[in-house]
Structure 1
Amino acid sequence: MAQDRRTSILDAAERLFAESGFDATPTARVAAEAKVPKGLVFYYFPHKIDLLLALVTERLPTHGPDEADRVVEPGDATTSLIRLDEHVGLAEHASATLRTILFREAGTHPEVGKHLRHLRQNLVALTENVLDRTVGVVLDPGLRRDAAHTFVAAMLDRANTVRTGEVAPDLAGVARVVSMALQPAR
């Protein structure tokens, strides 16, 4: 029962923060939407910012470099990167509203920006690990890092553009470009 109430509060906050923004959404409105007393919101989340932080830390996927084995296709960086994107699932994440919150609030709330940076760093490390395990040769560390940053930037851009209805980058095309850049010179 207690977990259900906490979940109801987070669900309501997620909907309302995505709709109106964090700063424009009073906790009383979150409580009303969740159908709980306002004091219960503060019981679970002593400060309003705690609600926002709980959303981004508990409801966004996290990935570490040790997940590379799940997606690697030896010798095929393009397929490995496409599998990585599918595994991470940023654009298909169950909560488009949560992506809206993350990208909107990252610039105005340092704690959210820090979480977005941490997410990006983890994705870059995972992508580097996938590339190392895929190509079968020792990659120049700078090239590997640049390739990983390029692919992660495209994944994050797609996640951001999908929520706004804009044309998203073709991740399979980006994977092919990154893969070609990692091929040894002939």
Structure 2
Amino acid sequence: MMTAAASGRPSKREAIIETAERLFADRGYDATSTALIAHEAGVPAGLVFYHFATKLDLLLAIVHERPTPGEVLRTAARGRSVHRRLRAVVSSMAEELERNRAARIIVFREAQARPEIAERAAELFDEATTTVAEILSGAEDVVAEPDRVRTAADLIVSRVFLDIIALGQADTATKRHAAMIDLIEESLTTPHAE
């Protein structure tokens, strides 16, 4: 007997998560019933509660079970120079945020009303900032102090997240951020007098 994973189809649990993610992003958490999720996923309504004790547990699964920024960005640490690493980070962040756009929209929207989601959003933002700072610190031409590198990472993560999630502009992220990349590169590679 072939399993769902072996056949390339998502498991029923994953189908529920994917459907809920799409519906929560399109309609909002409060406007989406578990009955609608089950119907759209093609599963019995009780199966939603078999896998998730509450609708909130389903929402939390969406935001916890997607790739984290650290997992995605560590693969972006290509190149030895700050400039190459900045371009790779911006490009990777934009691609990943766009690929998981629905989950990011949900986090952005639901963080306002749900402390559990706001906490997860803060964790994801901090992880992304820490990872970008580590990537930039590893460049061979960095001369900036760790605090300046962390501030640069914070700026990058904030700006790319805003552009992709709030403004929906993923396709030209690296090109649009060329001036920011140049400014940050100069800030991190030029010695500064205190």
TM-score above 0.5: yes
How many aligned residue pairs are there? Answer: 183
Q: 11-20 vs 155-164, which deviates more?
A: 155-164
| 1:112 to 1:48, Cα distance in 2 relative to 1, 3 A | same
User: What is residue 71 of structure 1 aligned with on the other side?
Assistant: 77
Q: Find out whether 1:18 has 2:25 as its counterpart.
A: yes
Q: Find out whether 1:94 has 2:117 as its counterpart.
A: no
**Deviation of 1:62 (Å):** 3.4
Q: Which amino acid aligns with 2:159?
A: A
| 1:6 to 1:121, Cα distance in 2 relative to 1, 3 A | same
Q: Find out whether 1:180 has 2:186 as its counterpart.
A: yes
**Deviation of 1:168 (Å):** 6.9
Q: What is the correspondence of 1:99-178 to structure 2 with a 5 Å cutoff?
A: 99-163=104-168, 170-178=176-184
Question: CA–CA distance in 2 between the matches of 1:28 and 1:157?
Answer: 33
**Deviation of 1:98 (Å):** 2.1
Question: CA–CA distance in 2 between the matches of 1:5 and 1:65?
Answer: 26
Give the TM-score, by structure 1 length. 0.84
Question: CA–CA distance in 2 between the matches of 1:89 and 1:168?
Answer: 6
Q: Which amino acid aligns with 1:4?
A: S
Cα deviation 1:42-92 (Å, max 9, x = unaligned): 000111111111111112443169927x52422x31221111123344565
Alignment identity in percent?
A: 31
Question: CA–CA distance in 2 between the matches of 1:176 and 1:19?
Answer: 36
Structure 1: stretches of 5+ with no match in the other structure: none
Q: Find out whether 1:34 has 2:41 as its counterpart.
A: yes
> Contact 1:64–1:122 at 8 Å: present in 2 too?
no
